[in-house]
């Protein structure tokens, strides 16, 4: 049975691209979808759980975690590495801890190495 992976990150339409020179919504979406496909090709059941704002992020993650039991929850670098989203990141980690206590938590360094992050913990 394939391990289930939830990739949590900002929806490309809400990212502040001034912080990420050269990145566009199209490039981000393509990179995330490529990571999702790479994980699927490696035998994981991967899906992206987009969040849309700091105000709705915890509810969106809770809903995703209630939909199925995930083996790994990966919180993306766009949430983790941006100081403006520190509290969102902290809340998301605690939601995973509370709602999916058996899931491993992983962190990528950007939208192209989610497979390495997941493989460390799956």
- Domain ranges across the chain: 4-121
- Contact status, residue 28 vs residue 22, Cβ threshold 8 Å: no
pTM, two decimals, is 0.95
Residue 2 phi/psi, 5-degree rounding, is -70, 140
pLDDT band at 111 (very low <50, low <70, confident <90, very high): confident
Task: Kindly indicate whether the domain formed by 4-121 is annotated with CATH number 3.40.50.2300.
Answer: yes
- In DSSP notation, 89-110 reads HHHHHHHHHHH-TTSEEEE-SS
pLDDT per position as a tens digit, 30-51: 999 999 999 999 999 999 999 9
Task: Tell the residue number behind the tokens 């199925």, with chain if given.
Answer: 68
């Amino acid at each position: 049975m394939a391990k289930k992976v939830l990739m949590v990150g900002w929806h490309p339409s809400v990212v502040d691209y001034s912080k990420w020179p050269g990145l566009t919504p199209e490039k981000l979406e393509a990179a995330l979808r490529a990571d999702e496909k790479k994980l699927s090709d490696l035998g994981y059941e991967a899906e992206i759980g987009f969040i849309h704002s700091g105000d709705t992020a915890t509810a969106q993650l809770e809903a995703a975690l209630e939909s199925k039991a995930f083996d790994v929850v990966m919180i993306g670098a766009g949430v983790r590495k941006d100081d403006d989203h520190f509290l969102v990141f902290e809340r998301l980690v605690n939601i995973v801890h509370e709602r999916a206590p058996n899931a491993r938590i992983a962190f990528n360094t950007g939208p192209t190495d989610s497979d390495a992050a997941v493989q460390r913990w799956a």
